[in-house]
Structures are given as C-alpha cells and as structure tokens.
Amino acid sequence: MEYSFYDLLKLLGSLAMFLYGMKIMSEGLQKFAGDRLRSILTAMTTNRVTGVLTGVLITALIQSSSATTVMVVSFVNAGLLSLSQSIGVIMGANIGTTVTAWIISALGFKVDMAAMSLPLLAVGVPLLFSGKSNRKSIGEFIFGFSFLFMGLSLLKANAPDLGRNPEMLSFVQNYTDMGFASVILFVLIGTVLTMIVQASAATMAITLIMCANGWISFELGAALVLGENIGTTITANLAALTGNTQSRRAAMAHLVFNIFGVIWVLCLFKPVTMGVSWFVEDIMQTVDPAVAVSFKLSAFHTAFNICNVLILIWFVKFIEKTVCKIIPQKEVDEEYRLRFITGGLLSTAELSIVQARKEINLFAERMRRMFGMLKTLLHETNENEFNKLFSRIEKYENISDNMELEIANYLNKVSEGRLSSESKLEIRGMLREVTEIESIGDSCYNLARTINRKRNGGSEFTEKQYEHIHQMMQLTDDALAQMIAIVEDDYHVVDVNKTFNLENEINNYRAQLKNQNVVDVNNKEYDYQMGVHYMDIIGECEKLADYVVNVVEARTNVKEKKTNENR
C-alpha cells in the first residue's frame, strides 16, 4: 500500500478540522451552558462512583471512549468540570468502550457518529446567524460538535488503511518467540498502531484479524490490547492542545490512568491471561476457535478495564497530584474555575458561607492581578506580546463574569436554608461585594480597550501624561491592596479610613488633571484625541476606585451591624 505526501496532507487537514471543531465546541459550551450544565454535571459526578457510572453510560451510548474523553476535556476547558470529577468520568469511559469491543466481536457493527455530522450542520449553521446570543452559542456548539466528529472520521479515513491491509503487519511473526520481551514489544506496537488509526475499536479489529490468521497467540493479542488502551489516549491529548492547563491535565490523567493499569497487569500477565482464557474456554467449549479467540480478547479487554477502575478509583487524588506535577500551572495560563466552591452545599450554611468568603477573597486577588497587567500593557511595544496580553485581560474579564454568577448563585442557594440573622446579613453584604468586584473587572477591561485604541491611533502620550497616569494607577493599586486586606477580614492590620482617604485623593487628583488637560490641549502640548484617551484612562481609574470603596463599605457595614447586634 502506497502512502503519498498528498495523503499525509489530507491526514494533517483532518487533524486541523478536528482541533478546530474542538475549539468551537468548547467556546460554544462556555458561552451557552455556563452554570446550568455545570450544575447538572456536578450532580452526576458528586462522587467517584457516580462519575464512573456517568462515563460508562455516555461511552456505551455513543460507543467511543475517545469521543467521551474529548467531551470531558472540553467540559474541563470550559470550567464545567473539575479535574478530580473528570478523572472519574474518564475511568467510566474506559469501561464503556468495552461494550464496543463486544459488539465488534459478536456483530461486527459500530455506530458511526460522523454520519450525524452533516444533518447537525444543517441545524447548527442557521443558529450561527441568529440575533440572540443563546441561539448563536448553541449553533457554535453544534457546529463544533459536527466538525469534531467529521475530523475524527476523516482522521480514520486518511490514516494508513491498516485494517484492510493486515498483511502489512505480518512481519510481527518474527518477534513472537522472545518470551516476555515479545509481550513488551507488542504493547508498544498496539500503542503506536492505535495512535495511527485513531480508534481503539479499529485496532481491536486488526488484533482480531491477526489472531484469527494465526500470526500471533492470544497472549500477544492481549498485549496489543494493553497497548491500544495507552494509544487511545492520544485523541484526548490532541484535543487538549487548544485547551487550558486543566484540560491538558484531564487528558494527561487519561494517559496516566491507563499506563498505571498496564503496568500492574504486566506484572501479573501470565495469571490474568490464563484466567481469562480458562474462563472463556469453559463457557464456550463448542465454539469455533477463531470466534473463541475474539471473545477471549473482548473478555480480557473488559476484565482489564473493570479491574483497573476498581483498583485505581481509590487513588483519584494521587492521580490528580501526579498530573499536576507533570503539567504545572503557568501563571500566564490561569483558567476559570472556582477553587473553594466545588459541588453542593456543605453540611451547615455557616460552613458554606466560609467557603464563599474564601472564593470572594480569591476573586478580589484576581481582579488586582488583572489591574497589574494594565501597567505592562501601557508600555508594551511588541505587537505580538501586546495582543497576547490584551487577550489575557479579555479572558480575565470573562473570568470575572463567571465568578460573579457562580458565587451569587451559590449564596442564593445558601440563603434558602435556615440561617441566623447574622448569616442573612452577611450574605447580603457578600452579594454586594461580588457585584462591585465584578465591576472592577469591567473597569480594567475598559482601561485595556482605551490603551488599545490609543495604540491603534499611532500616537504616544507625553512624558508628563505618562507620569500622571503612573501616579493615578499607583493610587488605584494602593486602594485595591487595601480592599483585599479588608475583604480578607484583616482588621487588626488595616485601617479602614485609609481607603476613604485614598478615594478622596484619587478624586482630587482626577479633578486637577482634568483642569490641566484643558490647558495643555489649548497650549498644543498634545492633540485633542490624545487628551481624550488620556482622560478616559484617568476617569476609569477614578471610577474603579469608587467600586473599591463600595466593596469596602459592603464589608465594613456588615461587621459594624454584627458588632451592634452583639452588644
């Protein structure tokens, strides 16, 4: 079989379509599903067992563990699932995929998800042109979903057709008599083969052909199956290339989970294969040997994945720590996820309020980090670096919107329980804090847009303007630092009055610069448009400081009322 350079280009194009579909699908999910889908998935993955069952169910329905893990990666990328929740679903997907192996063995039939892609596009594309944002987001999700499966289908179609040309692999007969070294070799062959074919089910079919032709024994076929379980993880890892750190970790967890499983099975390889062989032969004594070997391989595949889940389900936290060490968090790649609010409410409303308070502290710190990026953006001269930093600020603005919604929804659920008057008062204050902190994020994004407009205009601020902007930003950053300390309830260190003094200083400085700007424009020190950009930055900093004061007031008012009630 010849495989030309043109065929290689078609394979790369198929991969491009797959990755593009993954990106669009994830973005559509993030825009439309938001907290609703997250709450549904959270309910379905409240513990390890339900997470595993969810993975089994989804994979059994769509008959593709690759598709399930790709979806899980996209959910993690969109902030809809945590890393630990995704590991449970991935474990279940490994069991669910064995259903496909049994269908291949018994019926030789597999549902083709790609066949649904074109009809789905017919539904999705009109929604893309809808005026309503929700419909547009649904259209993006359907569009991405369709491209995802079209890409998967084309990847399989344009890969070297090893399924119809198993004679290409007849060379393996030369390596079947090396003892345990043959087993290791065939694990590697199974891994590489599945990476090329992009479907463990297709590689299982190839393995069945090789065993039926007598090229390899059942034991070496089982070794190929172990390799296939490692190779099938490549799909999710490819999908995660366009995702954030958490999604890459979820894909890596799939790989780590399967590698751990293969290692312990290799340690007990002889007993496991002999046990499966004896079990199948005992049940199917009169079946044709060629059919029996296919059932042996399917039984081995099922036994491996079920036992692997039963053993490693107790080590989810260890797997999570392992992938976090393999793929460390980059400071520049911070994705949206709540750190302290995970699933449902805690045992008492008071404990839930403590968790929400921690999340608000983190929210405030992220907004100050976002403001810190503006100082770098103001002086960035490299176009690529400027665009990268501007995109990151834009991402933080989306993070602030999501965090406000998630924390507010959580607090509303807490407020539905039985609460003391103090707790009700605190929740009201916290809701106001969340709203005002989100407004700080909006102000930061407005500042970034103003800096971007100034850059596109091609002009520069004067030295005196830069000096005034630096001074205003420093005062604003000091106010943010004070706010964070107060939000964290650090009253024995922080003087609340300092925030109000800073706010007065910022207001006075803005008024002074506004008057000076009129004089400078009249004196032709800079043109009118630069004066507009300049005052937009100064004015937005002053507005941001007002939001800071509102947060501090919300926090201090609650504390004062609590103190008065306790007297």
Q: How many CB atoms lie within 10 A of CB 255?
A: 20
What confidence tier does 507 reach under pLDDT thresholds 50, 70, 90?
very high
Q: Which pLDDT value is given to residue 35?
A: 47
Which of 319-323, 353-357, 409-413, 477-481 comes out lowest in average pLDDT?
Answer: 353-357
Q: Which pLDDT value is given to residue 545?
A: 93
- Residue 163 makes CB contacts below 8 A (sequence gap 6+) with 197, 202, 205, 206, 209
| Structure-token match 């078609």, residue found | 10
- Of all residues in the chain, the percent with pLDDT exceeding 70 is 71
Answer yes or no: are the C-beta atoms of 248 and 240 closer than 8 Å: yes
The predicted-structure confidence for 2-11, as pLDDT tens digits, reads as follows 557 787 788 7
| Comparison of pLDDT for 167 and 212, the residue scoring more | 212
| Mean pLDDT calculated for residue range 147-154 | 74
The string of DSSP codes covering 27-91 is HHHHHHTHHHHHHHHHHHTSSHHHHHHHHHHHHHHHT-HHHHHHHHHHHHHTTSS-HHHHHHHHH
Is pLDDT at 374 greater than 70 in this prediction?
yes
What confidence tier does 172 reach under pLDDT thresholds 50, 70, 90?
low
The predicted-structure confidence for 246-266, as pLDDT tens digits, reads as follows 778 888 888 888 888 888 888
What confidence tier does 192 reach under pLDDT thresholds 50, 70, 90?
confident
Is pLDDT at 347 greater than 50 in this prediction?
no
Is pLDDT at 40 greater than 60 in this prediction?
no
Collapsing DSSP states into helix, strand and coil, what is residue 230?
A: helix
In angstroms, rounded to a whole number, what is the distance separating the alpha carbons of residues 72 and 93?
10
Q: Which pLDDT value is given to residue 488?
A: 78
Answer yes or no: are the C-beta atoms of 122 and 225 closer than 8 Å: no
| Comparison of pLDDT for 439 and 284, the residue scoring more | 439
- Residue 181 makes CB contacts below 8 A (sequence gap 6+) with none
> Can you list the domains of the chain with their CATH numbers?
5-160+238-326 (no CATH), 338-566 (1.20.58.220)
In angstroms, rounded to a whole number, what is the distance separating the alpha carbons of residues 373 and 389?
7
In angstroms, rounded to a whole number, what is the distance separating the alpha carbons of residues 73 and 376?
32
CA terminus-to-terminus distance, the chain: 88
Which of 59-68, 203-212, 313-322 comes out lowest in average pLDDT?
Answer: 59-68
Nearest partner of 254 among 264, 244, 262, judged by Cα = 262
Which of 340-354, 428-442, 451-465, 510-524 comes out lowest in average pLDDT?
Answer: 340-354
Q: How many residues does the chain have?
A: 567
What confidence tier does 438 reach under pLDDT thresholds 50, 70, 90?
very high
Q: Which pLDDT value is given to residue 221?
A: 81
Q: How many CB atoms lie within 10 A of CB 67?
A: 23
Which of 11-20, 167-176, 222-231, 454-463 comes out lowest in average pLDDT?
Answer: 167-176
Report the mean per-residue pLDDT for the chain: 77
